[in-house]
C-alpha cells in the first residue's frame, strides 16, 4: 500500500464526502493540527508508523546499528504538525529534510518551505557529480556492504581499463601487421584519383 499525499487526500475526501481537490486543500491547511482532518491523517499514519518501527527494529537487529534520526521528505512533510505528531511515536529525533541548506539563499531555487519537494532530485544530482559516490554524502548502506560495493566498483574500473588496453594493443598489432604486409608488397594501397 502506498502511504503518502494522495492516500491522505483520498482518505479525507472519503471520510468528509468532499472532492479530492477540496480534501487536498484542507489537508494542506489543517494538517495534523486541526480537526477533523487531524484525526483522519493520524488514523492513516498508524500503518506507516508501524512499518517504520518494524524497519528500524529489523535494521538494528540485522546490522547492530541504531538509527538516530528520522528525516521526513516529500510533499506530505509540509503538512502542519506532521513533525510533532511523528516525534510522539519515535525515540529517534524526527525532522523535516532540508536539501537546500548548503545552497546560497540568493539562489532562485531557495524556498525553504518547499525545498523538501526537491530532495530526491538534489540527492541524485549530487551523487551523479561525485566520482566516489559510495563514500560521499549520505550512504545508508551498512559498512560491510559499502566495502563490497567499493570492491565491485574497483573491479569494474579495472575490467574497463583492461578492455581499453586490450583494444589499443589489438589496433597497434593490426597496424604493425598492415605495415609489414605493405612493406613486403603483399598489401597494396590503392588511392582512387
Which pLDDT tens digit goes with each residue over 155-168?
Answer: 888 898 999 999 99
pLDDT given at position 165:
93
Q: How confident is the model at residue 59 (pLDDT cuts 50, 70, 90)?
A: confident
Mean pLDDT of 47-74: 86
Every domain of the chain and the residues it spans: 5-139, 141-193
Task: Please give the span between the terminal C-alpha atoms of the chain, in angstroms, as a whole number.
Answer: 72
Q: Is the pLDDT of residue 95 over 90?
A: no
Q: Assess contact for 80 and 38: CB atoms under 8 A.
A: no
Q: Which CATH number fits domain 5-139: 3.30.420.40, 3.40.50.360, 3.40.50.720, 3.20.20.370?
A: 3.30.420.40
Whole-Å CA distances, 152 to 33, 127, 128, 132, 171: 48, 18, 18, 13, 29
CA distance 80 to 27: 9
pLDDT given at position 193:
67
Higher pLDDT, 127 or 30: 30
Q: Assess contact for 51 and 44: CB atoms under 8 A.
A: no
pLDDT given at position 153:
79
Higher pLDDT, 1 or 11: 11
Amino acid at each position: 500500500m502506498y502511504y503518502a499525499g494522495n492516500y491522505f487526500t483520498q482518505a479525507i475526501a472519503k471520510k468528509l464526502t468532499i472532492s479530492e481537490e477540496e480534501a487536498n486543500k484542507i489537508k494542506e491547511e489543517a494538517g495534523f493540527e486541526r480537526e477533523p482532518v487531524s484525526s483522519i491523517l493520524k488514523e492513516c499514519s498508524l500503518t506507516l508508523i508501524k512499518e517504520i518501527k518494524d524497519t528500524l527494529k529489523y535494521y538494528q537487529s540485522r546490522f547492530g546499528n541504531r538509527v538516530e534520526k528520522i528525516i521526513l521528505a516529500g510533499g506530505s512533510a509540509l503538512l502542519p504538525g506532521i513533525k510533532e505528531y511523528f516525534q510522539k511515536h519515535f525515540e529517534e529525533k524526527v525532522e523535516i529534510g532540508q536539501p537546500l541548506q548548503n545552497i546560497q539563499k540568493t539562489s532562485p531555487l531557495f524556498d525553504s518551505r518547499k525545498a523538501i519537494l526537491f530532495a530526491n532530485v538534489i540527492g541524485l544530482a549530487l551523487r551523479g557529480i561525485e566520482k566516489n559516490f559510495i563514500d560521499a554524502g549520505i550512504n545508508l548502506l551498512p559498512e560491510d556492504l559499502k566495502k563490497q560495493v567499493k570492491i565491485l566498483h574497483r573491479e569494474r574500473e579495472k575490467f574497463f581499463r583492461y578492455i581499453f588496453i586490450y583494444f589499443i594493443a589489438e589496433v597497434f598489432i593490426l597496424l604493425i601487421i598492415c605495415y609489414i604486409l605493405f612493406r613486403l608488397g603483399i598489401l597494396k594501397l590503392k588511392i582512387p584519383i
